[in-house]
Amino acid sequence: MSRTVRRSRAVALLAVLCAVVLTLSGCVLLPGQDAAPSPNPSATNGTPPDLKAFYTQQVQWAGCEKSFECTKVTVPVDYAHPTGDTIALQLIRKRAGGARVGSLVMNPGGPGASGYTMVRDSLDQVTSRTLRQRFDVVSFDPRGVDRSAGITCLTDAQRDAYREDASDPATAAGFARATELQRQLATACRQHSGPVLAHMDTVSAARDLDVIRAVLGETKLTYLGYSYGTQLGATYADLFPRRAGRLVLDGAVDPSLSNEQLTLGQAQAFEKALHSWAEACPQDSSCAFSSADEGVALVRKLLADAERDPMTVADGRKATVSMLASGLVLPLYNQQSWKALDVAVANAASGDPGDLVRFSDLGADREQDGHYSANSMVAFQAVTCLDYPMQTAPDAMRQDAAALQKASPTLGKFFAYGGLTCASWPFKPVSAPHPLHAEGAEPIVVIGTTGDPATPIAWARSLAAQLQSGRLITFQGEGHTAYGQGNTCVVGAVDGYLLNGTVPQNGLSCGT
């Protein structure tokens, strides 16, 4: 079983826990159904003839989720064969509260995260009031994700079993077991998902983004992307530099790095974040230890104990080491969640790992009733296996595992053997890592956070340097991504650029 941690954005933790799933509505005129030109003809200039029907489709927005509007946009499954199968992308929009200047399109990351859910549940956390007043804020579920022809692989019970498995690929038996689990997963995904499974790569998603831009009537794309959303946005700018307007990429992924290099950097960054949390914890009365070293030692003991003899939680499931590791990692994404991690670790040390299991459930989209509300886990895998050629040779994976263990003594082993996730995948990679330059694009603002555990600051520096028009903002702080943390320096720079075109000084540093 893959232990690679998703490059995703964790926001509004309590809001997600308490969110209620409501019914949405929306309709669309499909290509070929007398589609009329976009209200803004310049939005479709230069469209290839074989894609014109998609770019000029008319959509009708309908009220949904109490105060939002929803619609669907039709795109080809395979852009190389646009007359073939199509899918409908689910969009959600919050109308500007004041004098509208245009549409701001957002992506929350993942890959595999739902933009629809982010806007519905966390709009106030991921945008400023200033942006909400002036922009129609739009997001969507990318192809193959949730409401946009979401791929299906396992039943809820099967997903529970998959997540609870704690086979150690470092052993011969564990390697064989993990290989078989991945083979079963890949087979199930192919059996139960539609043709989009073979076309969930980032380039295809970026081409979808251009169709969305045109359908919204925008000549250029205004965009705010978090985490993997930075890779999607940079890919868009590289494909369509003249249509890339004001783009902000927060929590940047370096597109030139291999999956193995990304995993190593992430393991190091999460280890650093774990130590930062352990240093801060003793300041709170709920902390179970008195020093950072003692805290890290306690976490390692909890993981080692779970590996030998996992405890049982209230609903009868086993708190396996894989569950505890993912439960520890999730709160590290957001410094505001550290106090909850204080309590969770203290309870686990007292014999109750329930809080850590609930964190693991939250990261895996599992509701308290045992139902999985989204497909982010398998969507992440589908995108990653198409975007990255992986190291799948056993000896090479063992070497990577040793490097991960050295770089991250507490968490490194849970990042290892990621190549197994794609070794049995039914579709080969369609691209490979390479620098993105987006020559001719308007200034692209890239933001990195010095203590970011999921997208290390070095990746933001690298992406900003690769992009011909890249402008780097550094946030001196903890947590994954910067804009949603409310820092006035970051918010002012981003809002000033998106609204007024004021380009931030390259290298701008914003303190906590």
Residues with a known catalytic role: 227, 452, 480
Structure tokens at 4: 């690679």
Structure tokens at 486: 């409310």
d(CA 1, CA 342): 28
Which DSSP state fits 77? S
d(CA 158, CA 161): 5
DSSP codes joined into one string, 171-221: SHHHHHHHHHHHHHHHHHHHHHS-GGGGG--HHHHHHHHHHHHHHTT-SSE
H helix count then E strand count, the chain: 18, 14
- CA distances from residue 400 to 171, 397, 403, 416, 459 in whole angstroms, order as listed: 15, 5, 5, 7, 20
User: Residues for the chain: how many in total?
Assistant: 512
Please name which of 135, 257, 233, 131 lies closest in space to residue 469, comparing C-alpha atoms. Answer: 233
DSSP codes joined into one string, 348-381: HHTT--HHHHHHHHHHTTB-TTS-B---HHHHHH
